[in-house]
Amino acid sequence: MTRQLPPPPTDQYVTLPDARLVSTRALLTARENLTDTINARAMMCVHGGAGFGKTMTVTSCLRALEPDEDIRRITFHARATTRAVRHELHTALELPGPPPRYASESDHLLKNALATHPRTLVLDEAQWLQSDQLEYVRYLWDDPYTQLAIVFVGGEGCYQALRKEPMLSSRIFIWQRFTRLTEDEVLDVIPLYHPIWADADPDDIAFADQRAAHGNFRNWARLTAHTHTALERTGRPGVDQEVLRWAVSCLGSGT
């Protein structure tokens, strides 16, 4: 089967040697939720603030859970028209030739393709989809012959956008909201995230979280990259307050 998921090294927000995927509570929950959604050929919504690890979690879990699953991912970067969604699907499914000119012809082609075997469709940055496009996705999923599992992944506004569509939201099998890491989670998972934190003083990790990261995994990735650079340049054996203050300053937080 074809898998349109990026390679594992791209899971991390920044290029950071030795960074690891850590099993947060959100990741473990997502793994179960994605398994249940795929098994039921249902729809799921993963939503939450920017930098909370939604896309990384969904991508890594799908890569591990379904080695034989046909997974296609579409990422939206701006408000899309329904015509654009048809064209994106045509490309993602690797259908021959250019997308048909007429909507009815395109719909017929897409539904036939989606009926050939089970597929999982990931719609990333789904907050950019408007009512017409969400209704079109539901229309494809509702067809009795398509064998689709759909995972909506989106930032702020995604939950509200889907909830405003009663025909769609009533069909969402699982809703999962991503939030910031708690203080306890930070102290549990950050030492596992990268070797520079493995032997760090918990007070220093807490300091870094309070000053800059704020339980946001994207912030932790940036902070770790800057801290790693500082340790390499200074030759210091481990994290300390001076190194952290410099790293925090690079993020525009603190001094």
Query: Is the four-CA dihedral 114, 120, 125, 130 of positive or negative sign?
Result: positive
User: At 33, is the secondary structure helix, strand, or coil?
Assistant: helix
Phi, psi of 45 (to 5 degrees): -125, 125
Report d(CA 78, CA 46) in Å as an integer: 19
Per-residue pLDDT of the chain (255 residues; tens, 9 = 90+): 344 776 665 666 667 888 888 999 999 999 999 999 999 999 999 999 999 999 999 999 998 876 677 999 999 988 889 999 999 999 999 999 999 999 999 999 999 999 999 999 999 999 999 999 999 999 999 999 999 999 999 999 999 999 999 999 999 999 999 999 999 999 999 999 999 999 999 999 999 999 999 999 999 999 999 999 999 999 999 999 999 999 999 887 544
Report d(CA 12, CA 68) in Å as an integer: 24
Single out the residue of 106, 158, 151, 107 nearest to residue 129, CA to CA: 158
Report d(CA 150, CA 119) in Å as an integer: 9
Give residue for tokens 């591990």. 64
Give per-residue pLDDT as tens, 152-201.
999 999 999 999 999 999 999 999 999 999 999 999 999 999 999 999 99
What are the tokens at 26?
Answer: 């959100």
Provide the CA 177 distance to its chain's centre, in angstroms.
Answer: 12
Report d(CA 210, CA 241) in Å as an integer: 13
Instruction: Write the CATH number of the domain with boundaries 8-178.
Output: 3.40.50.300
What are the tokens at 92?
Answer: 């993602």
Q: Kindly write down the DSSP assignment for every residue of 201-216, as one continuous string.
A: -HHHHHHHIIIIITT-
**pTM, rounded to two decimals:** 0.90
Structure confidence at residue 63 (pLDDT): 87
Report d(CA 219, CA 254) in Å as an integer: 14
Query: Is the four-CA dihedral 164, 166, 168, 174 of positive or negative sign?
Result: positive
Domain-by-domain residue ranges, the chain? 8-178, 183-250
Give per-residue pLDDT as tens, 186-198.
999 999 999 999 9
Structure confidence at residue 40 (pLDDT): 96
Structure confidence at residue 16 (pLDDT): 81
Structure confidence at residue 254 (pLDDT): 46
Structure confidence at residue 64 (pLDDT): 84
User: At 148, is the secondary structure helix, strand, or coil?
Assistant: strand
Structure confidence at residue 253 (pLDDT): 56
